Amino acid sequence: MIEKKIFITTFDLDRLIHLIEAYRNSPRQTKLPIDMLEKELERATIVDPQDVPSDVITMNATAYLKDLATDEQVIWTLVFPKDANAENNRISILAPIGMALLGYRVGDIIEWEVPGGKRRLEVMQTLYQPEASGQYNV
C-alpha cells in the first residue's frame, strides 16, 4: 500500500520532536505512541508554516470529519497531550486518531486500527488552521 503524503510545518515538527524527547526521558511513559509518531514524522513533507496548504490539519487545527461506515460527523481539534479533552473534542497527537489526523487534508481518507477492526474517516473541511489565520506560533 502506498502511504499518503502528509504535510507538517517546521514549527510543529520542532514542538513534536521536543515532545518525543520528553516522553523518551520519562520512565512512566510507554514508548509505543512515540515510536508511531516518529514514523509519521519520517514520512512527512516538511514546509514552512506560511507555505502549508490551508486545508491541511496541523497542530491546533480543527477539522470536520465524516465516518465512512456510519456517516457520523465529528469536529475534532488536534492538540498536544496537555491540552487534550475528549469532552471538548480536543484529541491528543499521541492518541492513534491524533497521529492519523496530522498532516492530512480535505478529501483525504484517514484509516487507523481500532479494537474492532479498522475505522475510516474522510476529512470534509478544515474549519480552523492557525497558519491559515496568520498565527504561525500557535
* Structure confidence by residue, pLDDT tens digits, 28-78: 666 668 888 999 899 999 999 999 999 999 999 999 999 999 999 999 999
Locate cell 492518541: which residue?
A: 95
Q: What percent of the chain has pLDDT over 90?
A: 69
Locate cell 516522553: which residue?
A: 23
Angle between helices 10-24 and 32-42 (to 10 degrees): 150
Q: Going by CATH, does the domain composed of 6-130 fall within 3.40.640.10? A: no
Question: pTM above 0.95?
Answer: no
The DSSP 8-state label assigned to residue 85 in this structure reads B
- Residue 5 pLDDT: 84
What residues are paired with 67 via a beta bridge?
121
Q: What percent of the chain has pLDDT over 70?
A: 93
Residue 124's nearest CA partner among 74, 89, 59 is 74
Question: What are the CA-CA distances from residue 90 to residues 38, 39, 50, 117, 124 (Å)?
Answer: 21, 22, 24, 23, 17
Question: Within 13 A of 109's CA, how many CA atoms are on the CB side?
Answer: 8
- Residue 1 pLDDT: 43
Count of Cβ atoms closer than 10 Å to residue 17 Cβ? 13
